[in-house]
Amino acid sequence: MLQTGDTLGKIAGEKAGILKRGIPAFTVQQPEEAMCVLEDKASNLNVDLQVVPPLDVNLLNGQKLGLEGEHQYVNAGLAIALSFTWLKRTGHLELANQDHTDSLPEQFIKGLTAASFQGRAQIVPDQYVDSEKDGDLVFYLDGAHSPESMEICAKWFSGAVKGEHQSDKAKPQVSSSTHQLKKNIMQVSINVHPFNQCALHESKLLSEILLATLKSSSSLAFMQILLFNCMTVRDPELLLPQLMKTCASQDVYFKKALFAPNMSVYHKVGTHALPSAVPEADLSWQLTLQRVWDNTMQKDKGREAKQVNHVAEEMKDDTGKGGGSHESSSVVFPSLPLAIKWLRDTVRQNQSVRLQVLVTGSLHLVGDVLKLIRK
């Protein structure tokens, strides 16, 4: 934002710098303020500016885009138009001359379905948590840092966690302790004397009751956690309420919000000097983010509480550092590794919980989390 401007028109003007005289250009549907600037720049340079429609999902022949999110169909449509133009200019006429309004070359479908983009709508289960004896920890990473991208991120996250919840309901949740309990239940029936039919009947009935209880109690409790940070040039008053509002519209509510500083160091363009020493963590910005979150929560008191009582105690431990206790709806950690450690400790202490952690607000934050959970 520091480099491209503080209005859509100014940003569009900077982006239009890529236009070259006489060279075709492509864009997608834009807000009127931005589109007017693009069209004006294109006209001055005699550029054929084309507005590309989103990809028709039917052209994928039943397959799915490699990148998550409805907005990726807009990006895919743009990628297809650019690719066909490049193929035509470089002489690959066998592909370039195909009519891609009704079908796509197999190579295009393969590329679109195999595409990946780390840190954008990315789901990463934590490999350091043993789901056989611990709870589950899954990270949902998206580097959204504007109100518009935050809305898209929130819709993607809500759809992903609700879809995961539904698929989890459709399959049995069996842990190592579950297997042992089932084994013990079966032993109850086996040890009954075969000629004592009454006792055998009661034993089978007891087994059925215990197994039914086991089945109902072995399901995971899904809890949504936010891990957030953003650059100081961003406005959290625009980002956090947008995130909370969009998730709530999908009936998804965060149990707790965690705020921690990035590990990566940010430098403006043109800055070459690196700090000679690592300063003590300044948490003033994270405390500001926490206040914005808490104030937004207070304004939203009328919403239905979405909390899981039987795992609440697991969320009440205290680090004694940062702002807020873990009993509150938000907490500030002095470092990102401590936040990750707390998440892992939480699921290790409770087999019945799956933490679904949305990491967003900054691409620096997303990159740092990916480094930490893959070490």
Q: Torsion-angle region of residue 314: left (phi > 0), alpha (psi -120 to 50) or beta?
A: alpha
Is 332's pLDDT higher than 60?
A: yes
**Mean pLDDT value across residues 67-84:** 91
pLDDT digits (tens, 9 = 90+) for 86-123: 988 888 877 766 666 788 999 999 999 999 888 989 99
Lowest mean pLDDT among 196-205, 262-271, 352-361: 196-205
pLDDT digits (tens, 9 = 90+) for 334-345: 999 999 999 999
Coil vs helix vs strand at 216: helix
CATH architecture of 8-114: 3-Layer(aba) Sandwich (3.40)
Highest mean pLDDT among 5-9, 64-68, 73-77, 204-208: 73-77
Give the other-Cβ count within 10 Å of 325's Cβ: 13
Name residue 49's beta-bridge partners: 25
Q: Report the CATH number of the 122-171+220-263+282-373 domain.
A: 3.90.190.20
Amino acid at 76: A
Crossing angle of helices 176-190/197-217, nearest 10°?
Answer: 170
Confidence of residue 198 (pLDDT cuts 50, 70, 90): very low
pLDDT of residue 356: 97
Q: Are 135 and 353 in contact (CB under 8 A)?
A: yes
